[in-house]
Amino acid sequence: MGKQGGSSKETDEVPIPKVIIDQDSDPDATLVEITFGDRLGALLDTMNALKNLGLNVTKANVYLDSSGKHNKFSITKASTGRKVDDPELLETIRLTIINNLLQYHPESSSQLAMGAAFGVMQPSQQVDVDIATHVRVKDDGPDRSLLLVETADRPGLLVDLVKIITDINIAVESGEFDTEGLIAKAKFHVSYKGQAISKPLQLVLANSLRYYLRRPSTEEASF
Predicted structure pTM score: 0.82
- Examine residue 155 and state whether it is found in any structural domain, yes or no: yes
Flag whether pLDDT at 8 surpasses 60. Answer: no
Flag whether pLDDT at 170 surpasses 70. Answer: yes
- Examine residue 220 and state whether it is found in any structural domain, yes or no: no
Q: Look at residues 113, 139, 163 and tell me which one is the last residue of a structural domain.
A: 113
- Examine residue 109 and state whether it is found in any structural domain, yes or no: yes
Give the single-character DSSP code of 99.
H
- Examine residue 23 and state whether it is found in any structural domain, yes or no: yes
- What's 161's domain CATH number? 3.30.70.260
Q: Do 72 and 138 reside in the same domain of the chain?
A: no
- What's 89's domain CATH number? 3.30.70
- Examine residue 8 and state whether it is found in any structural domain, yes or no: no
Q: Do 137 and 85 reside in the same domain of the chain?
A: no
Dump pLDDT digits (tens) for 70-92. Answer: 889 999 999 999 999 999 999 99
Give me the number of domains the chain comprises. Answer: 2
- Examine residue 222 and state whether it is found in any structural domain, yes or no: no
- Alpha-carbon distance of 3 to 21, in angstroms, equals 25
H-type alpha helices, 52-198: 87-104, 115-118, 127-130, 157-167
Residue percentage of the chain with pLDDT more than 90: 52
- Alpha-carbon distance of 156 to 184, in angstroms, equals 11
Flag whether pLDDT at 177 surpasses 80. Answer: yes
Q: Are 137 and 147 in contact (CB under 8 A)?
A: yes
Least confident of 9-23, 53-67, 146-160: 9-23
**Domain extent at residue 35:** 15-113
Q: Look at residues 53, 85, 113 and tell me which one is the last residue of a structural domain.
A: 113
Q: Do 67 and 146 reside in the same domain of the chain?
A: no
Which residues on neighbouring strands pair with residue 207, listed in sequence order? Answer: none
Stretch 183-206: mean pLDDT = 95
- pLDDT at residue 16, as a whole number: 81
